[in-house]
Structure 1
Amino acid sequence: MAILALWIVMMGLLVQREREARRPVDAPPVEWRQPTETVGAAGPAREQWMGVYLNGTKLGYTVTRRQKQDGILRIEAKSHLLLPLQGEMRAVETESLVEVDAAQYMRSFSFTLDSEMQQMRVTGHVEPDRLVLRIESGGTTATRTIPLEKPITVPDALTPILAGSGRLRANTTHTLDLFDPMALAPAKAMVTIGQPEMIEGVDGPIRVLRAEISYKGFRTTAWVTPEGDTLKEESAMGWTMVRQNREDAMKPPEGDPQTDLVYSAAVPTNRVLKSPRQVKFLRAELTGADFSTLSLATERQQVEAAESGIVEIRREVPEAVRAPRLPVTEPQMKPYLAPDLLIQSDDPAIIETARKIVGRESDSWKAAVRIARWVHREVEKSPTVSVPSALEVLRTRKGDCNEHTVLFVALARAAGIPAEIAVGIVYLNDSFFYHAWPRVWVGQWVSMDPTFGQEVADATHIELVHGGLDRQSEIVRLIGRLRVRIIRAEE
């Protein structure tokens, strides 16, 4: 799952900063002559090294090893990335193993993410009509069973599967069922193979097939050989992976990076707001993407028309509604009180921390304010690449808006306050930036922002989705495409 590391990075871009994206810069030419074969216990294996670049700046490498025995294809992948985040370099390493059966479907997989802030391992195996997942993070282990209507594969196996089944041919289109590693759920990918074309190589032009891969609105272009070997891959925001020899791929980045990941995700806008944290009303137009699957219409955010992209946000007044006493027991709120894979609100450490923070307070809104103030005070603001776990954040007390939000939601649910994660954009220093914050139900839904220290989030918080990982992954397809035009702002 080499590309998964880049997807996680993109999810990690839900943080705030202050610069517009740079224009993409070309990566170096492809270094490819003949696939390397090494001898292992299961026989010859094909090895593929690729340098990873962002707008022409090298950030690391990936290596993929494909080996087949007794009809089972094993795809092992490793990546090592040094990521520029808000003036700091963050190291991220991933390892994965996928087994594909003779019918070209996934049998099992494992994925490990290791960063300065998190160690996470996800494993899964396919049983008849279901996928059984095991997630280890923050010192805890959780399992989930996902019903399957059809056999599935994973993103990194798409072109090898098409090649192995004889379907990697020019001018063809294929729809494949796969496992979405970000949302931990099934999804569909469309692969369109175009005409053969030439790409630049160190020894001259190389004839390849161009594959356009569309996946939940996230688009990747890959240049592949007829055998399914990827020589080059490009995706949003200037990410490029280029086939190289082992020595060149493993060369460390030289000098200071010219692109910051957070800067690259900036959403340009047309106006400067002098006091954005004081904005109580915002009218804005969103353009550049399909918003039909997003959660634009909420209690505080009105949509003029689905096709127009015009939204109006009004900052809530929690005091206008009498808050229920703790614990909140309304039946319709049960989903927002339940623990989740990474929101371990039933863990004794989370429960005990919530109890200490809330104390004897029985008013749900006042209790939510106590939790928000505690999270803002206790969690150090630090740029992070992770899939945050509430227990891990409770232990490290570090992170960006993702970490603040997931810990707040877990503590709120443990205290009996319905809460969920909202993801969208927020105005800061002349641009909008991807951001996460919590919503709580205290007689009405109220958006809070413990990262900024806001008891009620200002109206420049434009919500795009709310809910779990399956909903949050919708954001990836917007990065680099979304634009905002501010029509009116009132303090």
Structure 2
Amino acid sequence: MTYRRGAVIPSAVILFILLSASYVYAGSSSENLLYIYSGGRKIGYSYDSVKTEGGITEAVEKARIKVRLLDNTGDVETEAHYRLSGGKLLSFDFRFESPSGKVTAGGEREGDTMRVKMKTISGDSEFVFDVPPGLIPASMLPSRLMADSPAAGREYVVPVLDPVTVIAASSPGGFETRHKITGREGVEAPSLGVIDAWRVESVLSGARVTSWITDGGELIKQSIPPGMTALRDESGRVSEDGLSALDIEGATSIPSDVAIKDPRGLVYMKAEIEGISPEDGFDLSDAYRQSFDGKYVSIRAGDTSSVKSYKLPNTEPEFVPYLASENLIQSGDEKIVSKSREILGGEEDSLKAVRMLNGWVFTYLRKTGTAGIPNAKDVLKTGSGDCNEHSALFAALARAAGIPTKTVSGTIYLDGRFYYHAWNEVYVGEWVAVDPTFGQVPADATHLKLVEGDLNKSSVIMNAAGKINLKILEASSNEIRK
């Protein structure tokens, strides 16, 4: 089978957007149910409830979607429970489950911090984050927006807790969500007719979402990237009958106007980009591989024969962020460190070490579509995954060896289309793009970088899904790549 990795947009991020969509008025007791559609087909639902009794507020958020990645189809589900007192978040419990595995996490407040304990297939871990003032679950967001005299043009910044964001963050934080009320308009939903509601434009974990909310805090409709719509249902009964699978590859891939005969050997590509805006937050230019002038992007694969590699480990202060251990890239873990040393066998040349680690990950991991939260320790144990898992494991092994390593997301050309994809960049004397999914050092020039950063940053790509258009102007494979 030709390995085709479709969406780097992980189902975890899509589920975060759906959970954040679970707006409900936080009165003494309330429920909210929305069904999610893609291309007119029902693919899942989002449900929440909020109940206050004896001064304690309990909020529950659930979401489920059916997804198809590569040859795999299955349900992805999240469930979160929150406890608050006097508007202060006290604790939460979270579960993420898919055919690829299960992640659970629980947080308990300790003063102005939250201590989180997480459990995955590879074991338990623990971390702490600072709780910003006014932090709330997504299900209580409309009460914050609607309680303060909503009017067209008003803008709000609200800290919202999403457990996926907390787990996936390279450093704790990133709770800020932004909202702007753009006006009132009639919106139609099945069985409800036309409802007069406020239109709210929001930025949630980097993704742009449009909601229609009544004065009473009822969410009637929501537009969610990539091309999904959530519609309110008044039955109050969750039904999982007749769910269709969201084809993430189909929903997010970009057709190419040019057939590239040897994409893995491409060393230079120039393309015209349409459908994105500066506000989307893309990283389209860097100082070493990719440049963008506002309309045209140029990419060079690079020639590693001229790289002046160094002796490991790298100890330069400027690279500390790219050597750090993270929640999902556990470069300091004993098993990760041991495996990295085993693979390298004492090799101290930075470029040679990258080739060895990249080749090992490429060979070791079984290529399969996954719908989960990529965790380097889990990937090392299971030995399988898609581009997210390859990227996470390579980053952990490389950082453990003292090689500054980034995770990046963007698109790659395969079989006549550009698919969303994840890979890495390493500093080996200069920054070089590498792709452990395809075993490439350097990565070919069809790797169009859109964002740098952890799993949360990849949700920014959702802003372009279904809108971005690429016109290939030049493509060359004539140069020699070392």
The two structures have a TM-score, normalised by structure 1, of 0.83
Answer yes or no: is the 8 Å Cα contact 1:47–1:63 preserved in 2.
yes
**1:286 counterpart letter in structure 2:** I
Specify the alignment match of 1:151 in structure 2: 134
- 1:236 and 2:222 correspond: no
**1:354 counterpart letter in structure 2:** S
**1:280 counterpart letter in structure 2:** V
- Aligned pair in 2 of structure 1 residues 230, 79: CA closer, same or farther (>3 Å)? same
- Aligned pair in 2 of structure 1 residues 314, 47: CA closer, same or farther (>3 Å)? same
Alignment partner of 1:253 out of 242, 257, 267: 242
**Larger deviation, residues 397-406 vs 462-471:** 462-471
Q: Give aligned pairs, total.
A: 451
Alignment partner of 1:195 out of 184, 189, 193: 184
**2:209 counterpart letter in structure 1:** T
- Aligned pair in 2 of structure 1 residues 62, 294: CA closer, same or farther (>3 Å)? closer
SS at match of 1:237: coil
Which whole-Å CA distance do the structure 2 matches of 1:124 and 1:463 have between them? 35
Which whole-Å CA distance do the structure 1 matches of 2:269 and 2:11 have between them? 30
- 1:160 and 2:143 correspond: yes
Specify the alignment match of 1:116 in structure 2: 99
- Aligned pair in 2 of structure 1 residues 10, 484: CA closer, same or farther (>3 Å)? farther
Alignment partner of 2:156 out of 175, 185, 189: 175
Answer yes or no: is the 8 Å Cα contact 2:136–2:161 preserved in 1.
no
- Aligned pair in 2 of structure 1 residues 261, 278: CA closer, same or farther (>3 Å)? same
- Aligned pair in 2 of structure 1 residues 44, 283: CA closer, same or farther (>3 Å)? closer
- Aligned pair in 2 of structure 1 residues 300, 419: CA closer, same or farther (>3 Å)? same
Specify the alignment match of 1:53 in structure 2: 37
Which whole-Å CA distance do the structure 2 matches of 1:304 and 1:66 have between them? 47
Answer yes or no: is the 8 Å Cα contact 1:117–1:396 preserved in 2.
no
Trace 1:78-157 onto structure 2 (pairs within 5 A): 78-100=62-84, 102=86, 106-124=89-107, 133-137=116-120, 138-146=122-130, 148=132, 150-157=133-140
SS at match of 1:94: strand
Alignment partner of 1:300 out of 288, 306, 317: 288
**1:418 counterpart letter in structure 2:** P
Answer yes or no: is the 8 Å Cα contact 1:302–1:313 preserved in 2.
yes
Cα shift at 1:382: 1.1
Cα shift at 1:459: 0.6
CA displacement 1:370-422 (0-9 Å, x = unmatched):
11111111111111112211001111111110000000010111122221211
Which whole-Å CA distance do the structure 2 matches of 1:439 and 1:73 have between them? 45
Specify the alignment match of 2:19 in structure 1: none
Alignment partner of 1:480 out of 455, 466, 474: 466
Answer yes or no: is the 8 Å Cα contact 1:12–1:386 preserved in 2.
no
Specify the alignment match of 2:5 in structure 1: none
Which whole-Å CA distance do the structure 2 matches of 1:198 and 1:354 have between them? 56
Which whole-Å CA distance do the structure 2 matches of 1:44 and 1:140 have between them? 36
Which whole-Å CA distance do the structure 2 matches of 1:174 and 1:100 have between them? 25
**1:296 counterpart letter in structure 2:** L
SS at match of 1:157: helix
Specify the alignment match of 1:272 in structure 2: 259
CA displacement 1:345-393 (0-9 Å, x = unmatched):
1111111111211113222211111111111111111111122110011
SS at match of 2:321: helix
CA displacement 1:222-261 (0-9 Å, x = unmatched):
233332122332212221222235686413226x65x511
Which whole-Å CA distance do the structure 1 matches of 2:142 and 2:409 have between them? 32
Cα shift at 1:487: 1.6
Answer yes or no: is the 8 Å Cα contact 1:90–1:384 preserved in 2.
no
Cα shift at 1:268: 3.4
**1:9 counterpart letter in structure 2:** S
Answer yes or no: is the 8 Å Cα contact 1:12–1:387 preserved in 2.
no
Trace 1:216-365 onto structure 2 (pairs within 5 A): 218-244=207-233, 249-253=238-242, 257=245, 260-291=247-278, 293-305=281-293, 308-365=294-351
Cα shift at 1:210: 3.4
Which whole-Å CA distance do the structure 2 matches of 1:245 and 1:112 have between them? 26
SS at match of 1:459: coil
Which whole-Å CA distance do the structure 1 matches of 2:325 and 2:295 have between them? 34
Cα shift at 1:334: 2.3
CA displacement 1:151-181 (0-9 Å, x = unmatched):
3334332213334x253x4535231222363
> What stretches of structure 1 of length at least 5 have no aligned partner?
1-6, 14-34, 36-42
Cα shift at 1:66: 1.3
**1:161 counterpart letter in structure 2:** R
Answer yes or no: is the 8 Å Cα contact 2:28–2:53 preserved in 1.
no
Which whole-Å CA distance do the structure 2 matches of 1:47 and 1:294 have between them? 37
Specify the alignment match of 2:11 in structure 1: 9
Which whole-Å CA distance do the structure 1 matches of 2:180 and 2:104 have between them? 28
The two structures have a TM-score, normalised by structure 2, of 0.84
Cα shift at 1:471: 3.5
Answer yes or no: is the 8 Å Cα contact 2:36–2:229 preserved in 1.
yes
**2:286 counterpart letter in structure 1:** T
Answer yes or no: is the 8 Å Cα contact 2:32–2:236 preserved in 1.
no
- Aligned pair in 2 of structure 1 residues 323, 198: CA closer, same or farther (>3 Å)? closer
Specify the alignment match of 2:6 in structure 1: none
Which whole-Å CA distance do the structure 2 matches of 1:211 and 1:450 have between them? 41
CA displacement 1:4-55 (0-9 Å, x = unmatched):
xxx8527479xxxxxxxxxxxxxxxxxxxxx9xxxxxxx9732223222222
- Aligned pair in 2 of structure 1 residues 222, 294: CA closer, same or farther (>3 Å)? closer
Which whole-Å CA distance do the structure 2 matches of 1:247 and 1:194 have between them? 28
Cα shift at 1:122: 4.0
